[in-house]
Amino acid sequence: MRSLLEFLAKYNYWLLFVVLEVVSFVLIFQFNRYQNSVWLTTANTVVGQIDAWEQSALRYIALGEVNRQLSRRNLILEQNIEELQWRLRSLTHDSTQTERLQAERFKDFEMIPARIVTNSVLLRDNFITIGAGEADGVEPEMGVVCGTGIVGIVLRVSTHYSIVLPLLNSRSNISCRLRGSTFFGYLKWDGRHPLYATLDDLPRYARLKVGDIVETSGFSSIFPPGIFVGKVEAIDDSEDGLSYKLHVHLGTDFARLQDVYVVKQRFHNELQELEQSVLTPQS
């Protein structure tokens, strides 16, 4: 205690100076608007920079776990591919049949890669923004797909961005069929679960069952035929009882979307001009 008193007595003038300086700064920044705004701006900048450093450090620390998850996922995918190739060889004795089918399916289409910029899944009318636009060759009414199925249709386009009308929108209405059959209907979203949609207008005489594959019908220039959409989860009657309503478990998990492809038909403009010439009255 005596040492503390001796220290205060020895440096009392310096301590008094520091206290007065602190009081002066507090009064200046508290009762002067300009100085107060400068202080708040500087403090927010410093705090923001510290938060950014903290987030960068946390992301760097988490890279190890991300790499482990990716490695595990790659291993699972490689095993799945090997298993599927083995089954295909045992059934067809041709390991390239699947690749030929995929190449044939997209032979008249170009694939424009794009990254998801903004996305929503909890609204009645969801929209997706992608980082590709007119400069990349994207135009309205082009289909958008991902590795697990279809995503939606391009609605509006700017130079470098596009708005996509996804399946998870009440305005979405995409023609789909049951794989291996000629029966088709229209895929719609009821605004409930983001992993489920309904396929309407299937005729009563259609032979179908739970587990059937739902794919694009190809009845428009937006999507090529045969693109995977989902699987039939349940079968109900339509409201008027004249057709079936299928509950489809979608292959696309919209909450996890990151990268997509815009499907561009090679003769898209030619087809549009031809269709427009039929719709436009001749003078």
- Reduce the secondary structure of 29-54 to three states and give it as a string: HHHCHHHHHHHHHHHHHHHHHHHHHH
- The pLDDT, as a whole number, for residue 98 is 47
Q: What is the CATH number of the domain that holds 213?
A: 2.40.10.350
Contacts of 8 by beta carbon, 8 Å cutoff, 6+ apart: 15
122 within some domain: yes
Burial 239-265 (b: 16+ CB within 10 A, else e): eeeebbbbbbbbbbebeebeebbbbbb
Residue 63 counted as domain residue: no
State the total domains in the chain: 1
Are the C-beta atoms of 128 and 257 separated by less than 8 Å? yes
pLDDT of residue 95: 46
pLDDT for res 158: 94
For residue 24, CA distances in Å to 35, 41, 228 come to 12, 20, 71
pLDDT of 15: 72
64 burial (CB, 10 Å; 0-12 / 13-18 / 19+) is exposed
Q: What parts of the chain have a pLDDT lower than 50? A: 95-96, 98
206 close to 181: Cβ distance less than 8 angstroms = yes
In a domain, 214, yes or no: yes
- Beta carbons of 207 and 167 less than 8 angstroms apart: no
Domain that holds residue 206: 110-266
Residue for token pair 């591919």 = 81
Is the CB of residue 149 less than 8 Å from the CB of residue 223? no
| One-letter amino acid of 111 | M
Q: Could you say which DSSP state residue 147 is in?
A: T
Residue 54 lies in a domain: no
In a domain, 1, yes or no: no
pLDDT the model gives residue 142: 92
pLDDT value at residue 75: 53
pLDDT (0 to 100) of residue 152:
94
With respect to residue 137, please indicate whether it lies within any of the assigned structural domains. Answer: yes
Residue 87 domain-assigned?
Answer: no
What is the Cα–Cα distance from 118 to 282, expressed in whole angstroms?
Answer: 43
**Residue 172 within any structural domain of the chain:** yes
